[in-house]
Amino acid sequence: MAEPTKTVKCLVWDLDNTLWQGVLLEGDDVQLSEETRTLLSTLDARGILQSVCSKNDFADAWERLEKLGVAEYFVHPAIGWGPKSAAVRDIAERLQFAEDTIAFVDDQPAERAEVEFHLPKVRCYAAEQLPELAGLPEFSPAVVTQDSRRRREMYQAGLRRDAERETFAGPDERFLRSLELVATIAPAGDEELLRVEELTLRTSQMNATGVHYSHEMLASLVKDPRHRVLTVTMSDRFGPYGAVGVMLLELHEHVWNLKLLATSCRVVSLGAGTLILNWIADQAARADAHLAADFRRNERNRMMEVAYRFAGYTTDTCDCLGILPPPDPSDVERLHLVPVMHDASSTVRLNAPDLRGMHGQPA
Amino acid sequence: MTIESATASAVTTEAVTATIAEFLKSKTKAACAADTDLFAGGLVSSMFAMQLVVFLEGSYDIAIVGPDLRMDNFRTIGKMTELVLRLKDDSEAAGDPADGI
């Protein structure tokens, strides 16, 4: 089977005679074609970020992009006089994207060659290829969800949020409170499952067992009366974070087995893991059930182990564990908790269902 | 004298307390005493406690695992200092192969 084409996560545009027609420094009244405008909004809606890399005066070029009404499309613009390869590398680093997910378009063969020489994994395109770009497989992600359509918006909100955190003096909790965080836990529907799938594919995330559940498998468990598939979405006053987590519970009478907990690394610092674990504990405590959380350490889920341990989970044995089928895979540890009720979070407003009222619900 | 033992000699109650206090101050921009309850005052979130775990492990070349990962062990600078010193002692008693013994 052929390797599937790796989707481009960010397209970096040259400006003169690529994004617009004309050369700004030569005093041209540069024009943006309708086709280019459409391409910008098409890629944006597919969740592909865009940036610019141009040899120009920053203030002049940015002012022109604003006048043309397209400045908002671009993140981390690199407009200056240094080599383009260095600028493209800098954009990739700021985005924390691997080189092979970056594309670069420029009308000058010499500029493309310079980028190709230093960054062989960056895919380079000539300006003449722009009309066909949107039709290429690497610019056509398989799944496009609400979260991809808002990806740039979410990213820009993230930058504003980080800038604020940087300058915020005071206790952690007061900063978190100032964000006006809202989390929603809800039974997963089709769109949510796709967003979760996208989350797993695109972002670095923490998974308590490292077991990947496919969209199909989760969709089939949604219909199973014993299982609960739930997704977590978050937002704050800067904007949405999108789908940030998924959990899978199997409910037995005296014990609830948390088989899957996966969250986006972006929300770790917001206390999302603890929030979710506290909510599950409240729910189980009300149902008079113990909790058994499946956990298998890997190099990426260390934080999750800490979250479980800090929430009071232990490796102590309990009769309740005996009624559970053995974990799959067999090296999965089962962490046990006798749950107690928690105070509501002081930093996140939570909207969540009552699990006992959800018996065998279809999504 | 190896580099490892030079580092180990710096692991005293005073030094560890000062290092943790400095780390906390750089993150929260607030100074706190060795016995201040960090969670009760809302000074650090439980998630920030994870940064503390990573910080302590990285700074002192220790692994904080299993039952040691209790929130109580991270409640105050003093508790964290005790934890570091105990784990450091354990690893030396066990004859850490990295020391070339």
Give the C-alpha separation, A54 to A111, whole Å: 10
Question: Is residue B2 predicted with pLDDT exceeding 50?
Answer: no
User: How would DSSP label each residue in A274-301?
Assistant: HHHHHHHHHHHHHTT-EEEEEE---TT-
Interchain contact, B43 vs A309, CB within 8 Å: no
Query: Which chain B residues are within 8 Å of A171, Cβ to Cβ?
Result: 28, 30, 41-44
A78 Cβ contact list (under 8 Å, min separation 6): A12, A51, A52, A53, A54, A87, A88, A90, A91
Quick one: A122 exposed, middle or buried, by C-beta within 10 A (0-12, 13-18, 19+)?
buried
Q: Does A274 touch chain B (CB under 8 A)?
A: yes
Q: Which chain B residue lies closest to A267 (C-alpha atoms)?
A: B47
B78 touches B21 (CB < 8 A): no
Identify the pLDDT of residue B26.
83
Identify the pLDDT of residue B49.
75
Tell me how far CA of residue B74 lies from CA of A49, A269, A273, B13, B24, in angstroms.
40, 17, 18, 15, 12
Candidates A172, A276, A297, partner chain B, best to mutate (most B CBs within 10 A)? A172
Interchain contact, A172 vs B42, CB within 8 Å: yes
Domain boundaries, chain B: 3-94
Residue-level pLDDT, tens digit, chain A, 363 residues: 456 688 999 999 999 999 999 999 999 999 999 999 999 999 999 999 999 999 999 999 999 999 999 999 999 999 999 999 999 999 999 998 999 999 999 999 999 999 999 999 999 999 999 999 999 999 999 888 888 899 999 999 989 988 888 888 766 678 888 999 999 999 998 888 888 777 766 666 788 888 888 888 889 999 999 999 999 999 999 999 988 999 999 999 899 999 999 988 778 778 788 889 999 999 999 999 999 999 998 877 888 888 899 889 999 999 999 999 998 888 999 999 999 998 888 889 999 999 876 654 433
Question: Is residue B7 predicted with pLDDT exceeding 60?
Answer: no
Best CATH choice for the domain B3-94 from the list 1.10.10.10, 1.10.1200.10, 3.40.630.30, 3.40.50.300: 1.10.1200.10
Give the type of residue at B65: V
Question: Is residue B8 predicted with pLDDT exceeding 60?
Answer: no
More confident residue, A205 or B75: B75
Give the C-alpha separation, A352 to B34, whole Å: 38
Give the C-alpha separation, A218 to B17, whole Å: 48
Identify the pLDDT of residue A302.
82
Interchain contact, B47 vs A268, CB within 8 Å: yes
Among the partner-chain residues A310, A346, A347, the one whose CB lies closest to the CB of B49 is: A310
Identify the pLDDT of residue A252.
93
Tell me how far CA of residue A96 lies from CA of A9, A72, A204, A225, A357, in angstroms.
11, 20, 10, 41, 42
Interchain contact, A274 vs B46, CB within 8 Å: yes
Residues 279-318 of chain A whose Cβ lies under 8 A from any Cβ of chain B? 302-303, 305-307, 309-310, 314-315
- Chain B: give the shortest CA distance to residue A38, in Å: 42
Give the type of residue at A236: D
User: How would DSSP label each residue in B3-61?
Assistant: HHHHHHHT--HHHHHHHHHHHHHHHHS----TT--TTTTTSS-HHHHHHHHHHHHHHHT
Query: Which chain B residues are within 8 Å of A347, Cβ to Cβ?
Result: 45
Identify the pLDDT of residue A363.
34
Query: Which chain A residues are within 8 Å of B28, Cβ to Cβ?
Result: 170-172
Nearest to A296 by CA among A288, A284, A305: A305
Interchain contact, B29 vs A169, CB within 8 Å: yes
Spell out the domains of chain A, with CATH numbers in brackets.
10-139 (3.40.50.1000), 171-358 (3.40.630.30)
Give the predicted TM-score (pTM) of the model.
0.78
Identify the pLDDT of residue A210.
84
- Chain B: give the shortest CA distance to residue A310, in Å: 5
Place of tokens 């039974």: A187
Tell me how far CA of residue A329 lies from CA of A191, A210, A211, A295, A296, in angstroms.
28, 10, 8, 10, 9
- Chain B: give the shortest CA distance to residue A273, in Å: 8
Give the C-alpha separation, A70 to A32, whole Å: 10
Q: What is the DSSP letter of A96?
A: T
Q: Which chain A residue lies closest to B32 (C-alpha atoms)?
A: A171
Question: Is residue B81 predicted with pLDDT exceeding 50?
Answer: yes
Q: Which chain A residue lies closest to B43 (C-alpha atoms)?
A: A171
